[in-house]
Amino acid sequence: MKELRVRVLFGLFVVAAVLSWAGARLWDTFGTLPRVPVAAPIVLGVIAAVLGATALALRARLKAQRERRPGAKGVDPLVAARAVVFGQASALVASLVAGMYGGTFIFLLLDGLDAGPRRDQAIYAGLSVVTGIAVVVAALFLERVCKLPEDEDNDKPQGAAA
């Protein structure tokens, strides 16, 4: 399984933000703008909390297993792999969603926040960007926790003698 690259996540964020900003501009010419749901930052925050709690729990179990504490519960490799896949999928989707709300947030800031509903929408969009970034950070932390230690033999070139 390949590690997530921050550049890929950032690229997804930027592309989604630009497309969302352009779409919001186009949509606003028709007189309305799609609403940013109040639940968006809440759902993203819950996902970030679940990812963070999973990472902390797995880290504690792996540490206890490495230290060979009596009664330590080990981590099934399949459970760790599933957690990493969940984290990677969450990070990819969260970077797209955060970019989408980021583009809407920028549009609302540039268009003006005179009206109360637009100000509320900008707050919800800004909070969604922040919690989307929290999901990405928690997913990267989970991925790092579940990473296997490097094998010393892999550091040597192929033709080197032992």
151 vs 31, higher pLDDT:
31
Q: What local confidence, expressed as pLDDT, does residue 150 receive? A: 61
- The helix or strand, by DSSP H or E, that contains position 3, with its residue range, turns out to be none
Task: Give the residue among 64, 89, 99, 70 at the shortest CA–CA distance from 142.
Answer: 89
pLDDT at 144 over 60: yes
- Look up residue 153 and give its two tokens: 């033999």
Residue type (1 letter), 69: R
Highest mean pLDDT among 18-32, 62-76, 92-106, 114-128: 92-106
Give the model confidence (pLDDT) of 55-85 as tens digits: 999 998 888 877 777 777 777 888 888 999 9
Buried b (16+ CB within 10 A) or exposed e, 23-53: bbeeeeeeeebeebeeebbeebbebbebbbe
- Cα gap 34→54, rounded to integer Å: 34
- Cα gap 130→108, rounded to integer Å: 16
Concatenating the DSSP letter of every residue in 124-136 gives HHHHHHHHHHHHH
Please name the residue that has the structure tokens 């007189």. Answer: 31
At 152, is the pLDDT very low, low, confident or very high (cuts 50, 70, 90)?
A: very low
Q: What percent of the chain has pLDDT over 90?
A: 54
- Cα gap 133→153, rounded to integer Å: 36
At 162, is the pLDDT very low, low, confident or very high (cuts 50, 70, 90)?
A: very low
Residue 116, helix vs strand vs coil: helix
Average pLDDT over residues 39-57: 95
- The helix or strand, by DSSP H or E, that contains position 32, with its residue range, turns out to be none
pLDDT at 97 over 50: yes
Q: What local confidence, expressed as pLDDT, does residue 2 receive? A: 82
Longest dimension (CA), the chain: 72
Residues 132 and 46: beta-carbon distance below 8 Å: no
Q: What local confidence, expressed as pLDDT, does residue 156 receive? A: 52
| Cα angle 114, 120, 124; round to 5 | 140
Residues in the chain: 162
